[in-house]
Amino acid sequence: MAQVNIRLDDATKRNAEVTLAALGLTIPVIVNMLLKQVIRTGTVPFEITTGESELLRRIADMEAGRNVHYHDIIEVEDDEEAVE
């Protein structure tokens, strides 16, 4: 059987152990589950995004008039004098 070593900060490890223990799982078990799911589906079983892709999606939504709320809109006034 292969062994994999990972580095985690202490708080992440401790919090993960507590959360997983409540589910009856351990870190090695959940890592095995994750890797088997990746192999079975050929994908990561959760969404991985960058802030830029989220920003681009929101800009596209606003330009299309979707999911636009008042607090999303920033008004910018044209100041022709500032350009000169």
Task: Reduce the DSSP state of residue 42 to 3 states and report it.
Answer: coil
Question: What's the pLDDT at 55?
Answer: 78
Question: What's the pLDDT at 57?
Answer: 82
Q: Is 40 exposed, middle or buried (0-12, 13-18, 19+ CB in 10 A)?
A: exposed
Low-confidence ranges of the chain (pLDDT < 50): 84
Question: What's the pLDDT at 52?
Answer: 73
CB 20 within 8 A of CB 26: yes
Side chain identity, residue 5:
N
pTM: 0.57
Question: What's the pLDDT at 60?
Answer: 86
